Structure 1
């Protein structure tokens, strides 16, 4: 999977940009804030999350790992897909989101487009305790669930690198979230089968 991408910016839109890498232009979906921080012709590095679907490959890019980690963690919440997760990251900085969830500040969460009261309650219910502020108050650290650790270990025995195993599990978490399925309710063998059939790379 693609964990990061470095190259020259060839095109910029409000929600996307084109990064040229070795002569190939790669479209990366970004937040409006990111589009304002980059400039045409400049070099940039994005921390990325690849969303794999049957008919598409979509690459989301962030200027720091904190936002990328937050984006991926948000998709473990039932009903939160990549589009909504991107909207959350675009509306609230990771530390703002962390504080809102810790304080159960539904008013702040409800102002995120596409969330509403029920969505805000779900974010608090499923993410409280999974987001934390570091000592410098600038990083969000996702807490690994037991099922994720077990699955990553199983993939490692099959020859996956730690990075590829982590990315493959993130793709699965996103897919299960879209289906409204809690990974904790599935057997390890079933989770492993899903990863292997979704095309996770070694």
Structure 2
């Protein structure tokens, strides 16, 4: 079992980081790769998945977030990719709150989550989360700070990020157009991705 990885981010793609750990490059799937910058030193708490055709490493900034990811995996029909998408689209606090108040409507807006899966999330996790001390947060806007500035072709970067999260090209382009009307040139690519995801949640 790999408990954590500590090293330098060499580069990031739409759904993973390449982390250099003493000369060995690890592919680590994380909720939001765009929240990291190349050259940054990171420590990620990991969850290792072994399949017949692959060995996959998922990483999280905190043990608490990793534990929530593992709880999501206990729900029937929720695999690592779906659980990671949930934590990409919603902060852990927002996700816990939606489950706590049985907000099935919000949960079904997550990629790959239908009504039955949303109901299972509530049924299977509401009591578990309470027992583990997960209190729903009233501040749903708490997100990461210190994001890098917008780079050229940021619009394409946002679309590619949405495609990697399971949206189709038409949905991604709509979200970029919709969110782009309410941002200015100083906004970071990561912030634009968040705005685009919020637009999709309200669609």
Same fold (TM over 0.5): yes
Residue of structure 2 aligned with 1:73, choices 54, 71, 74: 71
CA RMSD of aligned residues (A): 1.8
1:144 corresponds to: none
TM-score after normalising by structure 2: 0.63
Query: How many aligned residue pairs are there?
Result: 136
TM-score after normalising by structure 1: 0.63
Residue 13 and residue 82 in structure 1: after superposition, are their counterparts in 2 closer, same or farther (change >3 A)?
same
Whole-angstrom CA distance in 2 between matches of 1:106 and 1:69: 22
| Runs (5+) with no aligned partner, structure 2 | 139-203
- Cα offset for 1:129? 0.8
Runs of 4+ in 1 over 2 A off after TM superposition: 132-138
2:85 corresponds to: 87
Whole-angstrom CA distance in 2 between matches of 1:89 and 1:2: 21
Residue 50 (str. 1) matches residue 85 (str. 2): no
Whole-angstrom CA distance in 2 between matches of 1:6 and 1:46: 6
| Structure with higher RCO (Cα < 8 A, 6+ apart) | 1
Name the SS of the counterpart of 1:77 in structure 2: coil
Whole-angstrom CA distance in 1 between matches of 2:20 and 2:100: 40
1:2-81 to structure 2, matched below 5 A, reads: 2-32=2-32, 35-81=33-79
- CA offset digits 1:140-178 (Å, max 9, x no partner): xxxxxxxxxxxxxxxxxxxxxxxxxxxxxxxxxxxxxxx
Whole-angstrom CA distance in 1 between matches of 2:121 and 2:64: 18
Residue 114 (str. 1) matches residue 128 (str. 2): no
| Runs (5+) with no aligned partner, structure 1 | 139-202
Whole-angstrom CA distance in 1 between matches of 2:134 and 2:56: 30
- CA offset digits 1:96-121 (Å, max 9, x no partner): 11111111111111111000111111
